[in-house]
Structure 1
């Protein structure tokens, strides 16, 4: 079986992790959160991003919450978010007392459609929040232009896109700020939860840094300048991520290589109802490789029989979820939920495994179920 979520992502680093744990646990400082290693990790990421401010925190979801709070989002405000995506896009808005307004997606990229988003901007709109999805970054040049024209703030959910670059600018640095997630299966995943805010705005960075630590400024303990959160970063994870950071470009390159191979095999299958994500390298991140399949459930069953694990992102649009249920029409998001199927793309897949996965998809396309028409 080739699992979709592998259980051996960090096997090669197991001994290093144990050594780092011993180093941290026996150090005289006995500091386990927001210490010197966190500071070094933030500086290393910031250097990779051309000097951007980096503030690590408890998760990618926390990063969104901290930024929305720092931007002043609250009751009476609206935030335009994609109708297709993960729950934190909407839940972080709701938890601050604001209202998520759901925009439909582009039918090919599956990211928020700028035209649909612009049509939803109202006098109550505080923030436009596009999200990069799977292998494709959102159309940030368009979102940057429309945010400036309408005088609204632009927050970039780049949680899945660390390492992606669009028109020479890294994911996370197109809007006023962006976020990264270090949860296990992300491109720079770790052995626990974690996230980061990235921004070129020092004032916004200072506000987020204060909010993550109960409103303290880091200079005077127990002096709280504002109501904040407990979203502090773990020193062990900082050490571990510093260890793994030099290998990130190689792992990203392997993901891109697998995606390129998949696309070459699947692009001829359009007549059989199988559509790969857009190819190329500009604005690509290769966190997850998602096909669109007309007969998704049959393809998924076939791949299971062939020993290939798959995953569905996402089975229902956000505005159809019980937590966010609202009236409206989002036909492209609905269609994506019916058709999307993710294949394994983690960097330590062997060439033989990648070929087996591609062969299994192509074999399905040649069967009566896979070759059916509407």
Structure 2
């Protein structure tokens, strides 16, 4: 980072001008999509083109676009036959779809605790949670760290269960040379605005090297239609992809590597600045770029709320994700065995704080964020 001062300017968490340079393009795409011959607004030629373009980014895996990353998980689990009587092992800490998608199919989410530093699910805890009723395990990449997918693959193979990769936040991440989304039998991406390949609305994709599974997902996303229209071989969903979103994502796809690199450079700078703060109560994610996805940059702070207030006083917006672990959410209370505890998930809920990492930040803003965090850690330890 170059040496600048932030001049006291506010540093937003979400970029307020995320699509500003694309405004005219977006308006033109609305007009062109609305006036094209055939008036096909969903699952048309642009959707097929986007799926083909995305295949090149995931080692040629099948890509099936859908209405959201959440619906992608539902489509995958349904295609795998998950239903009543089955269990799916999921992280105890993360976004509600980890539990919702399983419960909505009549299956039981079984929560596994997380690693205390990386906040991704602990493979040993996943293995301990597997029972004769387990149909699948569904690890999730979190914030800026991918789950330990090599160990997850081995655990799934050893126990004969399906492996679903919740890679919604990790598009563009690479672990051991393998893209996020391709480690499991199937993975998902989310295109919601704040994700690395966010769009001006909702959207997502299923990624899989299993052609049969991809075929099932394609049918399920459009009311179970296979072959001729209005012929329904199975009970499906309405999870179709919008042509306007496909056009916009095709426009933005060439710029994705540069945006990912900008996020990665910001993360590298933060981690270098924050590494000495661990003994002062502020713990950054592990350094390096392998197995990283720079959707959100989160630190673990012993005095999280005080740090958040300190940053706000210095014009820096921050964000608390998942203050309650999934097993502590009222929605999932019926799935919690008596006496069961998830101490690392609970600790993460008390300590996690996300810092601005959107690619529109200037060097000066990034340095201002880092300076503010470092000043807080020094001041609190001195006090």
How does 1:1-374 map onto structure 2 within 5 Å? Answer: 1-217=10-226, 219-325=227-333, 326=336, 327=338, 328-367=340-379, 369=380, 371=382
Superposed CA deviations along residues 131-175 of structure 1, whole A, max 9, x for unmatched, are: 000100000000000100000000000000000000010001001
Answer yes or no: is the 8 Å Cα contact 2:325–2:346 preserved in 1: yes
Q: Secondary structure at the match of 2:56?
A: helix
Q: Which runs of 5+ in 1 are unaligned?
A: none
Q: Distance in 2 between matches of 1:154 and 1:44?
A: 25
Paired residues in the alignment total 370
Q: Secondary structure at the match of 2:189?
A: strand
Change in CA separation of 1:252 and 1:198 when aligned onto 2, cut-off 3 Å: same
Q: Secondary structure at the match of 1:54?
A: strand
Q: Secondary structure at the match of 1:231?
A: coil
Answer yes or no: is the 8 Å Cα contact 1:272–1:371 preserved in 2: no
Q: Secondary structure at the match of 2:119?
A: coil
1:279 to partner: Cα distance: 1.1
Q: Distance in 2 between matches of 1:222 and 1:256?
A: 46
1:252 to partner: Cα distance: 0.2
- 2:6 is matched with which residue? none
Q: Distance in 1 between matches of 2:36 and 2:125?
A: 54
Superposed CA deviations along residues 106-136 of structure 1, whole A, max 9, x for unmatched, are: 1121111000110111100000000000100
Answer yes or no: is the 8 Å Cα contact 1:276–1:290 preserved in 2: yes
- 2:5 is matched with which residue? none
Q: CA RMSD in A?
A: 0.8
Superposed CA deviations along residues 290-317 of structure 1, whole A, max 9, x for unmatched, are: 0000000000000000000010111100
Answer yes or no: is the 8 Å Cα contact 2:66–2:241 preserved in 1: yes
Q: Which runs of 4+ in 1 moved over 6 A?
A: none
TM-score by length of 1: 0.98
1:371 to partner: Cα distance: 5.0
Q: Secondary structure at the match of 1:111?
A: coil
Superposed CA deviations along residues 36-63 of structure 1, whole A, max 9, x for unmatched, are: 0000000000122121100000000000
Q: Distance in 2 between matches of 1:297 and 1:134?
A: 19
Q: Secondary structure at the match of 2:271?
A: helix
Superposed CA deviations along residues 173-206 of structure 1, whole A, max 9, x for unmatched, are: 0010000000000000000000000000000000
Change in CA separation of 1:99 and 1:371 when aligned onto 2, cut-off 3 Å: farther
Superposed CA deviations along residues 213-265 of structure 1, whole A, max 9, x for unmatched, are: 00002x31111010000000000000000000000000000000000000111
1:365 to partner: Cα distance: 1.0
1:2 to partner: Cα distance: 1.4
Q: Secondary structure at the match of 1:323?
A: helix
Q: Which runs of 5+ in 2 are unaligned?
A: 1-9
Superposed CA deviations along residues 319-357 of structure 1, whole A, max 9, x for unmatched, are: 000000224100000100010000000001000000000
Q: Distance in 1 between matches of 2:134 and 2:38?
A: 46
Q: Secondary structure at the match of 2:347?
A: helix
